[in-house]
Amino acid sequence: MAQERPLSLDKSRAMFDRIAHSIAGGESSYARLKKGLELCFERGEGSRFWDVDGNEYIDYSLGYGPLIFGHNPKKVTEAVVQAITERGSVATFPYDLDYQVGEQLVRMVPGVDLIRFANSGTEATMAAARLARAYTGRGKIVQMEGGYHGFSDTHFWSSHPEVFAENPKGYTEVPQPASSGIPAGYADALLIGQYNDRENMEALFAAHGDDIAAVLVEPIQANTGIIPPEPGYLEFLREITKRHGALLIFDEVITGFRVAPGGAQELYGVLPDITTFAKALGAGFPIAAFGGSREVMGMEERNEVMHGGTYTANLIALAAANVVLTEMREHRDELWGRLNSHGTQVALGLGDACREAGLPNIVQNVGPLWHIFFAKPGAPQITKIRNYREALAYSSIDVFDRFHTAMMERGVYFHPYHFERWFISTAHDERDVQQTLDAAADAAEAVARDLKAEGNS
């Protein structure tokens, strides 16, 4: 069994305090840390990283998903160093890498004929929505409650809202801002749907069909843990958008190049009109893209809708992406055999270990993506999570937090927020899997023991 270890974070806390003297909040992305867990990074290699206190962790956060080959993958790093050394970083003109990466991406993703590069998933999604509105001449985008499509004013709505306090009896199509400082007027361009709910989507189109430019959806909802599509649901979205003259946009920022080489659209066989990508595309370097059918992307081809950026398609990011896509194409069976096998082993093993210790849970996974939802007292008696509302009604933040702390003490790291998903990389091996499951069994027993002692079981 895995052994609990004293977890000193003194150096991390001191470094974080120093960072906070000049960096507002001590970090530059709202999701990186959780108050009370100010962990500072020293180095990473393969499936593991070390914090500045010298603690070693098996990593299942992986930079929020980009590190599909693990930390510091040699081929990607060498290509980037060579590009910088021999060619520079950014220029005013296209490179040969533009077509090398572009042609590989188009070849790999079944629903994409033409692409354009961006710097982040947020940018790519903004560009995709603008393109959909320009193509259809309509104003409204449907997003799913509990989804996340970047932090822009146009999309950061109803991500994880307090819906039961506001609307205890049913759904609302009215978006709720997910941050202060977002002008209320942006809500007029959005409608909020419920993932995996066909009747809800039919009602939205019945009421607003002539105004809906597109349905923007994570094909696997991966920002409320992991919620797979119900059988036939993606096909339904494809049919209803076509029926009403709207576009279907897949946000594959998380799922693209991860659940399959061609993303969720390859896995499920449903082709959207536009797709957005980021994360795994750069294996740790900042690159994103959006693309789709030649018909829709023709507006970008003819410069009929504005898209740009100083750092889009910079040499460094393209050098990384070129290696990423080459490796995926040339070794797809080997890589996804490993990702799917190890991911499923960890996911199912986690659930079993926690249930055996007396911690009821639901684990949902799609190959190398998964999440464990711990049941709160009085949670609904369900066997799967279908949407954000069900996740909210079922999930115990307290048990998740306790389990997270116990796993860190046993050398396993995953994101500390209870609705973030777990990732696995091709660098994880059987030793990592076994150590993780041993740690989970020991951690779950410790959490259950503490809950029982406190009278919470």
Residues 365-417: pLDDT tens digits? 999 999 999 999 999 999 999 999 999 999 999 999 999 999 999 999 999 99
For 159-191, the pLDDT digits (tens) are 988 876 555 556 778 899 999 999 999 999 999
Q: Is the pLDDT of residue 279 over 80?
A: yes
- pLDDT for res 4: 66
What pLDDT, on a 0 to 100 scale, did the predictor assign at position 68?
98
Please report the pLDDT score of residue 353 as a whole number: 98
Q: For 106-127, what is each residue's pLDDT tens digit?
A: 999 999 999 999 999 999 999 9
Q: 324: which residues sit within 8 A by CB, 6+ positions away? A: 68, 69, 76, 257, 280, 281, 282, 283
Max intra-chain CA distance, the chain: 67
Q: What is the mean pLDDT of the chain?
A: 94
Domains of the chain: 10-72+333-453 (3.90.1150.10), 74-330 (3.40.640.10)
**120 in Cβ contact with 288 (< 8 Å):** yes
Residue 340 · residue 368 · CB < 8 Å: yes
CA distances from 52 to 43, 57, 456 (A): 8, 12, 35
Residues 287-315: what's their mean pLDDT?
A: 96
pLDDT for 304 equals: 97
**What average pLDDT score do residues 132-151 get?**
97
Q: Euclidean distance between the first and final Cα of the chain, in Å?
A: 24
Catalytic positions are 148, 251, 279
